[in-house]
């Protein structure tokens, strides 16, 4: 499963659901025969791996698996740049092993490392890390932090900021829990936990890999995303040039609470006006299919078909630059009142953080969804490029 | 997938992993051909359903899916037996629909009900419910509550007790979150949330369905379980007789915190002595394979091979009566110190709660694992039998 050229979801789909079409039946037959020759082989999801080493860190262009754990660590007093570099070497080595189904050196439950289930571990550095280590000079452009979006933000410290981000994604929560534990064990003498956020999306085998998934609001989430593997994705997400972040990206992680109790009071037509897309299939209200661009100029009886404040209009940057959302949901609920404490972990990746702020500013100014959503956490991280075997995440910097 | 006679995990296994052995290859070919005729069919996990109606409630004998959410509700003031019966009718109808991939009547995001992913919803009644409704007479025998296990328990109210248990299990967290939301929405005027506990085990496709899974301690968990579908299972779990709980069972739900930091200091040999089984394959230390009974009489050089205080010895009832564990793990960690806040949702089902207390008392008296585990939550529920279409959970009682 370690071949970058083959979609893991595709493999699962082909294996689990048979092969559609007569021509492909022969291939299906071959696969069956192969399986018959290795009756001891385990289920495909558990043993599936995503390559760790490479030009880019895994976990960004990688198809998002079911579970996403984000945790932010802060340097403890006395942890300097040298020490930090040594920790990053260790954590990189741990991650390289864990993602390939091998136990880290200090693992005392190595059996729990055997089923990585598409595990990825991705590291990112917050503006506060550069400041603490006296390396503001190394920060990417436009990265000092997000402006305050006072009209919408109700940020809480417990979901915001952080020196080091560790993003752990996998199709299995046992793999996530074990990786989390190993990475914390190897870092906790020098780094303290600032926050932990857990997200989920549909499990492997629930929705066809190529289909957009629904979020907790019931909306198809990420319809306008650049397609991983495409030229548009590369231009949108990966930093160019020759600096220390070439091949890296930036992450804006916003925790957005959804007030489902009020959202629920809208009928389907009203929801569609708010979003600017059809609820059933995600197609723009101006017609076509999900992947078609909305026609923002279209009018009917002199009125814009897509409302001036519809989410799809407000989230379209005037210069056409995009972001890449790797959407997760969270559910901390219910409260003792029986209402939902739920929302989105809005993880947006872009080569230049400005791609995000341009859109976010437009949304803060006006977006019909603002009546139902509240950003309660916010953090940005510079994601350094990947490394080769023996290297480590951040080696271009520290 | 709605056929009780076919194991859903079996279907997934056959589809995803091919069919071992030449004789079965023809069957595989047929399945492929069928798939080819319905190329639009979605992934099998998402659309898989577990029948709701029947002699027993689903969610007990059902192979446990990846996610288990348990929440306990307490009657609000003024909710009497008549009102409670009406709520149970409504919740039963919601559950019947949700588990079959249909939206409950009041669902405002019906799209989120379309992929039940083996969803089950199971209802249970706590001793406090019978007391509040003045129906102590209807309680099963030996059900008034658990004795205090003072030597080991450090129980917290926030994980203990409760009038009504709702157990929601599925292979997909979106399905769990949506079901939770619908059931709370329809009950919150009359019932308040007492606690919520979330558990996980390996995702569908990670471990072969017939294999025992490892828990957060790294142990194969549930090796001694009666096999669902067997006569032993029926005798162990389902209440007989003709009373209101005939066809039902009892649930002891214990939240057991695991101190992984100290457990980790043991080497493999010591861990095996503590448990009485081999870590690698779960076989008793007296030999054989995982499914073999440990030989508790075996001695070597005059010493018992399985330690007098080993978990496997202490958890064997003298009268041979068993319990059925449907094991889930939890992970609330890490703490701000970077240590794990993790453990087991020990969900034990048995026809008579005494089957559990006999074993629990032996464990409280002495069990080497007690040095590494602490029960922090405890609740018991009487699980009424299943019902037919048009009926409701609890109709034999209220």
DSSP for B318-334, please give it.
TT----EE--EEEE---
Q: How many domains does chain B have?
A: 1
Residue appearing with tokens 């997000």: A146
B30-55 pLDDT, tens digit each: 333 333 333 333 469 999 999 999 99
Residues 196-255 of A with CB under 8 A from B: 196, 200-208, 213-214, 216-218
**Under an 8 A CB cutoff, do B207 and A43 touch?**
yes
**Contact criterion met (CB below 8 Å) for A148 and A43:** no
* Residue span of the structural domain in which B350 resides: 2-6+50-204+213-397
B71-92 pLDDT, tens digit each: 999 999 999 999 999 999 999 9
CB contacts of A166 in chain B (<8 Å) are none
Kindly report the CA angle at B50 between B47 and B53, in degrees rounded to 5?
135
B188 vs A21, A279, A337: nearest CB: A337
B293-316 pLDDT, tens digit each: 999 999 999 999 999 999 999 999
pLDDT in the model for residue A336: 80
CB contacts of B335 in chain A (<8 Å) are 193
CB contacts of A258 in chain B (<8 Å) are none
Distance in Å, alpha carbon of A148 to nearest chain B alpha carbon: 27
Chain B interface, best mutation among A43, A207, A343, by max B CB count within 10 A:
A43
Strands of A231-372 (E only): list them.
Answer: 249-258, 299-300, 303-304, 324-325, 328-331, 342-350
* Cα radius of gyration (chain A): 22
B45 vs A173, A193, A206: nearest CB: A206
CB contacts of B329 in chain A (<8 Å) are 173-174, 177
B32 vs A18, A172, A216: nearest CB: A18
A23 touches chain B (CB under 8 A): no
Mean pLDDT of chain B: 89
Residue A24 lies in a domain: no
pLDDT in the model for residue A333: 80
From A376, A338, A337, select the one nearest A197 (Cα to Cα): A376
A339 touches chain B (CB under 8 A): yes
Residue B30 lies in a domain: no
User: Which residues does B77 contact at the CB level (< 8 Å), separation at least 6?
Assistant: none
d(CA B229, CA B7): 10
**Averaged pLDDT, B335-339:** 83
CB contacts of B217 in chain A (<8 Å) are 109
**pLDDT at residue B13 is higher than 80:** no
pLDDT in the model for residue B169: 98
Full-model pTM: 0.89
Q: What percent of chain B has pLDDT over 90?
A: 84
Residue A170 lies in a domain: yes
Distances, alpha carbon A262 to alpha carbons A209, A340, A368, in Å: 31, 11, 13
CB contacts of B112 in chain A (<8 Å) are 214, 216, 218
pLDDT in tens, chain A (398 residues): 333 333 333 333 333 333 233 232 223 223 332 333 333 334 799 999 999 999 999 999 999 999 999 999 999 999 999 999 999 999 999 999 999 999 999 888 999 999 999 999 999 999 999 999 999 999 999 999 999 999 999 999 999 999 999 999 999 999 999 999 999 999 999 999 999 999 999 999 999 988 999 999 999 999 999 999 999 999 999 999 999 999 999 999 999 999 999 999 999 999 999 999 999 999 999 999 999 999 999 999 999 999 999 999 999 999 999 999 998 999 998 888 888 899 999 999 999 999 999 999 999 999 999 999 999 999 999 999 999 999 999 999 98
pLDDT in the model for residue A73: 97
Residue B41 lies in a domain: no
| Residue of chain A whose alpha carbon sits nearest to that of B341 | A181
By three-state DSSP, how is residue A345 classified? Answer: strand
**Contact criterion met (CB below 8 Å) for B115 and B174:** yes
pLDDT in the model for residue B113: 96
Chain A interface, best mutation among B173, B176, B182, by max A CB count within 10 A:
B173
* Alpha-helical segments (H) within chain B: 8-17, 25-37, 44-47, 81-99, 127-132, 173-185, 231-237, 260-263, 268-275, 311-314, 353-365
pLDDT in the model for residue B340: 87
From B44, B294, B73, B104, select the one nearest B190 (Cα to Cα): B73
Helices A173-185 and A81-99: crossing angle in degrees, nearest 10, is 150
Residues 1-20 of B with CB under 8 A from A: 12-13, 15-20
Q: Catalytic: B221?
A: yes
**pLDDT at residue B14 is higher than 70:** no
Count Cα atoms within 13 angstroms, Cβ side, for B265: 5
What is the ipTM, given to two decimal places? 0.88
Residue A367 lies in a domain: yes
From B164, B169, B204, select the one nearest B62 (Cα to Cα): B169
pLDDT in the model for residue A23: 30
A193 vs B112, B192, B334: nearest CB: B334
Residue A365 lies in a domain: yes
At residue A236, φ and ψ (nearest 5 deg) are: -75, -40
B206 vs A46, A201, A207: nearest CB: A46
Of B23 and A246, the one with more pLDDT: A246
Chain B interface, best mutation among A178, A203, A280, A334, by max B CB count within 10 A:
A203
Residue B14 lies in a domain: no
B100 touches chain A (CB under 8 A): no
Tokens of A117: 């289930």
**pLDDT at residue B269 is higher than 70:** yes
CB contacts of B277 in chain A (<8 Å) are none
d(CA A269, CA B373): 53
What confidence tier does B5 reach under pLDDT thresholds 50, 70, 90? very low
Residue B282 lies in a domain: yes
pLDDT in the model for residue A337: 81
A164 touches chain B (CB under 8 A): no
d(CA B10, CA B4): 12
B391 touches chain A (CB under 8 A): no
Options A221, A264, A332, A367, the catalytic residue: A221
Distances, alpha carbon B173 to alpha carbons A112, A216, B112, B185, B343, in Å: 22, 10, 11, 18, 20
**pLDDT at residue B28 is higher than 60:** no
């Amino acid at each position: 499963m370690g071949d970058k050229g083959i979609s893991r979801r595709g493999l699962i789909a082909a294996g689990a659901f048979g092969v559609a079409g007569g021509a492909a039946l022969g291939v299906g037959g071959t696969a069956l025969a192969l399986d018959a020759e290795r009756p001891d082989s385990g289920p495909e999801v558990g043993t599936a791996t995503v390559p760790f080493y490479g030009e880019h860190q895994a976990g960004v262009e990688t198809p998002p698996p079911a579970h996403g754990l984000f945790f932010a660590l802060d340097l403890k007093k006395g942890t300097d740049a040298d020490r930090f570099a040594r920790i990053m070497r260790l954590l990189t080595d741990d991650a390289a092993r864990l993602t390939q189904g091998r136990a880290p050196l200090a693992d005392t439950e190595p059996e729990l490392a055997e089923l990585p289930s598409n595990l990825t571990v991705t590291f990112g550095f917050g503006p506060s890390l550069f400041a603490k280590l006296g390396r503001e000079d190394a920060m990417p452009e436009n990265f000092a932090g997000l402006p305050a979006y006072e009209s919408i933000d109700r940020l809480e410290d417990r979901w915001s900021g952080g020196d080091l981000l560790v993003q752990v994604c996998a199709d299995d929560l046992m793999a996530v829990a074990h990786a989390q534990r190993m990475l914390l064990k190897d870092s906790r003498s020098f780094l303290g936990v600032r926050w932990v956020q857990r997200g989920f999306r549909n499990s492997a085998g629930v929705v066809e890999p190529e289909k957009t998934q629904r979020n907790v609001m019931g909306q198809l989430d990420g319809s306008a995303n650049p397609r991983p593997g495409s030229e548009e994705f590369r231009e949108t997400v990966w930093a160019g040039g020759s600096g220390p972040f070439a091949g890296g990206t930036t992450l804006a992680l916003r925790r957005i609470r959804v007030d489902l109790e009020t959202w629920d009071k809208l009928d389907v037509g009203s929801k569609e006006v708010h979003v600017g897309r059809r609820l059933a299939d995600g197609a723009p209200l101006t017609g076509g299919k999900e992947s078609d661009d909305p026609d923002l100029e279209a009018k009917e009886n002199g009125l814009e078909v897509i409302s001036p404040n519809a989410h799809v209009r407000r989230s379209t940057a005037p210069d056409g630059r995009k972001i890449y959302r790797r959407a997760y949901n969270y559910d901390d609920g219910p409260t003792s009142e029986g209402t939902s404490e739920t929302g989105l972990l809005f993880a947006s990746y872009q080569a230049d953080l400005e791609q995000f702020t341009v859109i976010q500013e437009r949304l803060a100014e006006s977006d019909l969804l603002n009546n139902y959503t509240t950003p309660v956490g916010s953090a940005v991280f510079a994601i350094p490029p990947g490394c080769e075997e023996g290297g480590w995440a951040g080696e271009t910097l520290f």
